[in-house]
Chains A and B, each alone.
Chain A
Amino acid sequence: MRRIVQTLRALLCLSLLSLALPAQAVQPDEILEDPALEERARDISTGLRCLVCRNENIDDSNADLARDLRLLVRERLVAGDSDEEVVDFIVARYGEYVLLQPRAGGSNLVLWLAGPAMLLLGVGIGLGYIRRRGRARSMGEAETLSAEEEARLKEILKN
């Protein structure tokens, strides 16, 4: 384990991609007989975090805990739980930290609304700016460059 932590640290010196060990993820013996049920299990798995890994979902992780969680998900599905019930069951056991997509309740509203709010703000400011530019009287192109710079520009363009 210490080794894993060390290598993880070493990896982090790269600015990009630093994930855990090569993932073996879902093992052949875990796969359910029923393809529809397996499909649902995979869908649920991609939304659940492997708690001991770096930002990996349990579907991609090869940690033992991830395997336990994958088996647990499948167990609940075989027992007849709906997708929501399975997720609720896992969250009840491991806390909302396990969810890769945080629920949009309480303080998390800030997270979910930050994007749309910023978009509205941006579009508002942008439209206001564009309207002002549309109304502005032309200040004359000559003002943008001094005479000296005009001459220099001409000289450059001539060459």
Chain B
Amino acid sequence: MITELGHFCLILAFAVALFQTVVPLVGAWRRWPGWMAAAEPAALVQAVLVGASFAALTWAFVTSDFSLRLVWANSHSAKPMLYKITGVWGNHEGSMLLWILIVALFGGAAALFGTNLPPSLRARVLGVQGMIGAAFLAFLLFTSNPFLRLAVPPFDGQDLNPLLQDPGLAFHPPFLYLGYVGLSMSFSFAIAALLEGRVDAAWGRWVRPWTLAAWVFLTIGIALGSWWAYYELGWGGFWFWDPVENASFMPWLVAAALLHSAIVVEKRESLKSWTILLAIIAFGFSLIGAFITRSGIITSVHAFATDPERGVFLLAITAAFMGGGLTLFAARSEIMASKGVFGLISRESALVFNNILLGVAAFVVFVGTIWPLVSEMTFDRKLSVGAPFFNMAFTPFMVALGVILPLGAMLPWKRAKLGRIARKLAPAAVLALAVGALVWAMEEGRSALGPVGLMLGTWLVAGSVVDLWSRTGNSGFARLGRLPRADWGRVVAHAGLGVTMAGIAGMLAWQSEDIRVVQIGDTVELSGYEITLEAVNQVQGPNYVSTMADVRLSKDGREIGTMHPEKRVYPVAGMPTTEAALDNGFLRDIYIALGDPQQGGGWAMRSYVKPLANWIWGGALLMALGGALSLSDRRYRVAAGAAKQARVQQGVPAE
């Protein structure tokens, strides 16, 4: 019954989304206030309906209703409750419903918080958002309906893929989708501004918080996925340049460029057409990401949607939105003339270079991702493009970005003297060089990766500190607390990038490993640590059987702790997983994975010391925190507050 209600809500939501597309857009075109005003309730109703539909599907998973095909295929009655819930989006149909829910929620949020927008702009933003919702609702209803029943309900389900039964991966998709779909708001704002025929500073201010929010979510989502890979895959890799990863990384890069260029629009009325283009492209990459992951076209061996219908449908959605958006963009180029005047050495120029580097980096990732497909189709050359290529082609852009970032962040608008900024940053540069030289002298191998990475990291962090300090003027510490949140946000996010760069370089340059067969009681020595296999036991979990080892970790005879690497077998899914044991530290992780029992007795054991590992995700968290700080800046809150106040004032006389 609840399932049918959910199904019905979904169909109603589709109808509402169509209404939300047509009525406000026509209203804005014809300047009919009543029609424009229809956008707001429509967006809210759509959000409620999709929410109800999602709740119904969640209910089916929670109560293990195996008459639903989707629940049967992805759940099991013995599964822990947390993974029954997260199982809702652990499959194609459910994750698509989550995607649509987020589209609708963003639309609803824009209706609620967008009261300070001009009515016609708001109607158009919500109209475009409704169009996106309608397209994906149609995709879901016509090709991947989550509410299909089974004629004969089976006794129990097939269980969720064990790899997904993990906290890191359970919450990775919602964050990622919040990011992907958040970019649909930037897209809607861009299209609405083009329809409106007006791109100005106010538009820059309105679009930036949505982009910032999307970027923050995307950062967290990518970091969660990477962290999961690190501890789950059994040897501590954290990034593989897989097409599916690239699909999430490209929108991240473009969104990073977009949120920087939107500042220029907001503050200086320049870079308008570029910013609009970026907003269109950023969402385009989100759509391409959905297409790549769900059509299986890039790595055909791993086709997810065996049904080509889905791929074609998604490609059509992508083509329609990108084609329409770009055509509109080309037709309306005259409204996007720049107004600000600035010199070669100015913050505007620095942000232009930031955008060039991020944009070209995203382009390189894009070309690398689709090249195998293009090459096979046009040149009949079947080849692979993998991590070595991306590392070589992508890294230089990030190094260049890191080098110019502290300078650019401190340059004033319009016209600047490089000398003054350089003098302020000199201590940071000296510190960075000193750290680089020290590391170079201390390291054993002569690899440039570690010293360069740490030098860049130091430069970024120290540069951020200088940036923050220079903002206080002469009043020192007292003013630090009163600085705008946007300043704090910028500084924290830039420092976070430095921490991540240092972490990646440190871990890749200096990790040490030991792979061998150990008997119970054997000790492995690795980089000054003693790792002793003490026992191996069988442990019964809720829906798995675990082979769990007790491993003692000590240094110089002093015990640090006991670690428990596991191998699990999930009998229903018939699949083993590795649960590595980690001893987290500020400067290093100790990483132990248990392998197979050996024929001559003993166990294969893999031990790693990974320096600076946690800095990778720590830096990502800092970047997200910086974004969140920026998002809470007074200038966004003030605008929202003013709108609220205006409403309250209107309300008073009526009483």
Which residues of A line the B interface, CB within 8 A? 3, 7-19, 21-29, 31, 46-47, 49, 52, 54-57, 60, 95-102, 106-108, 110-112, 114-115, 118-119, 122-123, 126, 129-131, 133-134, 136-139, 143-145, 149, 155-157, 159
Contacts of A99 in B (CB 8 A): 383-384
The digit string for B575-608, where 1 denotes a CB below 8 A from any CB of A, is 1111000000000000000011010000010100
Q: Of the candidates A3, A54, A60, A144, which one forms a contact with B301 in the assembled complex, judged by CB atoms under 8 Å apart?
A: A54
A-B CB proximity, top 10 nearest: A100-B386, A22-B578, A16-B225, A12-B304, A101-B388, A122-B356, A115-B364, A107-B379, A10-B161, A114-B367
Does B79 lie at the interface of the complex (its beta carbon under 8 Å from any beta carbon of A)? no
Q: Which residues of A contact B242 (CB under 8 A)?
A: 17-19, 54-55
Quick check: is B172 within 8 A (CB to CB) of the other chain?
yes
Which residue of B301, B339, B364, B575 is within 8 Å of A139 (Cβ)? B339
Does B313 sit within 8 A of A, measured CB to CB?
no
**Residue from A11, A112, A134, A144 in contact with B342 in the complex, judged by beta carbons closer than 8 Å:** A134
Q: B317 near A: Cβ within 8 Å?
A: no
One digit per residue, 1 when the CB lies within 8 angstroms of any chain A CB and 0 when it does not, for chain B 518-544 equals 000000000000000000000000000
Closest Cβ neighbor of B177 among chain A residues: A15
Contacts A108-B383, A130-B352 given: A115-B161 contact, CB under 8 Å? no
The size bracket of the interface on B is 35 or more
Docked complex: B39-84 residues within 8 A CB-CB of A: 74
Q: Among the listed B245, B352, B382, B388, which residue makes an inter-chain contact with A17, where contact means beta carbons less than 8 Å apart? A: B245
Q: Contact between B222 and A131 (Cβ–Cβ < 8 Å)?
A: no
Q: Who on chain A is nearest to B568 by CB?
A: A22
**Within 8 Å of chain A (Cβ to Cβ): is B340?**
yes
Tell me, yes or no, whether B240 is within 8 Å of chain A by CB: yes
Asked whether, in the complex, the Cβ of A28 is within 8 Å of the Cβ of B515, the reply is yes
Q: For the complex, what is the distance from the CA of A115 to the CA of B240, rounded to whole Å?
A: 20
- Least CB distance from B643 to A in Å reads 9
B408 CB within 8 Å of chain A: no
Query: By the criterion CB–CB under 8 Å, are A3 and B382 in contact?
Result: no
- A-side contacts of B388, CB under 8 Å: 46-47, 100-101
| B392: Cβ under 8 A from any A Cβ | yes
B235 touches A134 (CB 8 A): no
Instruction: Assess whether B398 is interfacial by the CB under 8 Å rule.
Output: no
Chain A residues within 8 Å of B371, by CB: 102, 110-111
Give the distance to chain A from B250, nearest Cβ to Cβ, in Å.
12
CB distance from B363 to the nearest CB of A (A): 5
Cβ-defined contact, A115 with B367, below 8 A: yes
What chain A residues lie within 8 Å of B177 (beta carbons)? 15
Q: For the complex, what is the distance from the CA of A19 to the CA of B92, rounded to whole Å?
A: 17
Point out the residues of chain A lying under 8 angstroms from B202, CB to CB: 145, 149
Residue pair A100, B176 in contact (C-beta under 8 Å): no
Tell me the smallest distance from the CB of B241 to a CB of chain A, in Å: 8
Q: Does B38 contact A (CB under 8 A)?
A: no
> Which stretch (B13-21, B226-234, B464-472) binds chain A?
B226-234
Q: Does B401 contact A (CB under 8 A)?
A: no
- Known A10-B164, A17-B242; further 18 A-B contacts with Cβ < 8 A: A7-B161, A10-B161, A11-B164, A13-B304, A14-B173, A22-B576, A23-B234, A23-B578, A24-B234, A54-B242, A55-B241, A96-B381, A96-B383, A101-B388, A114-B363, A131-B344, A137-B341, A144-B339
A53 nearest in chain B by CB position: B301
Among B367, B378, B606, point to the contact of A111 (Cβ < 8 A).
B367
Q: Is the CB of A11 within 8 A of B163?
A: yes
- Give me 17 A-to-B residue pairs in the complex whose CB atoms sit less than 8 angstroms apart, sorted by A's number: A12-B293, A15-B177, A18-B244, A22-B233, A28-B516, A28-B604, A49-B384, A60-B235, A95-B382, A96-B381, A102-B389, A108-B375, A144-B200, A144-B201, A144-B269, A145-B200, A145-B202
Complex CA–CA separation, A5 to B463 (angstroms): 49
CB distance from A99 to the nearest CB of B (A): 6
- Taken together as a complex, chains A and B put the C-alpha atoms of A118 and B364 apart, in Å, by 9
Q: Which of A15, A21, A24 contacts B595 (CB 8 A)?
A: A24
Q: A7-B575, A11-B161, A95-B382 are in contact. Are A126 and B638 (CB under 8 A)?
A: no
Chain A residues near B629 (CB-CB < 8 A): none
Q: Are B221 and A23 in contact (CB under 8 A)?
A: no
> How far in angstroms is the closest Cβ of chain B from A4?
8
- On whether A57 and B387 interact (CB within 8 A), knowing A15-B248, A130-B352, A144-B269, the answer reads yes
Q: What are the residues of chain A within 8 A of B235 when measuring CB–CB?
A: 23, 25, 60
Contacts of A60 in B (CB 8 A): 233, 235, 237
Give the contacting residue for A21; candidates B576, B639, B641; CB below 8 A. B576
Contact residues in A for B511 (Cβ distance below 8 Å)? none
A43 shortest CB reach to chain B, Å:
10
Min C-beta distance of B168 to chain A, whole Å: 10
Q: Which of B91, B172, B638 contacts A159 (CB 8 A)?
A: B638
Give the residues in chain A near B363, CB-CB below 8 Å.
114-115, 118
Out of A95, A98, A133, A155, name the residue touching B270 (CB < 8 Å): A133
Cross-chain contact of B604 among A7, A24, A49, A107 (Cβ < 8 A): A24
Is B333 part of the binding interface, using a Cβ–Cβ cutoff of 8 Å?
no
Q: Which residue of B lies closest to A14 (CB)?
A: B173
Contacts of B598 in A (CB 8 A): 28
Task: With CB as the reference atom, state the residue of chain B lying closest to A133.
Answer: B342
Closest to B116 in A: A156
B356 touches A13 (CB 8 A): no
- Residue ID in chain A nearest B173 by CB atoms: A14
Give Cα A48–Cα B169 distance, bound, in whole angstroms: 28
| Alpha-carbon distance between A10 and B382 when the two chains are bound, in angstroms | 26
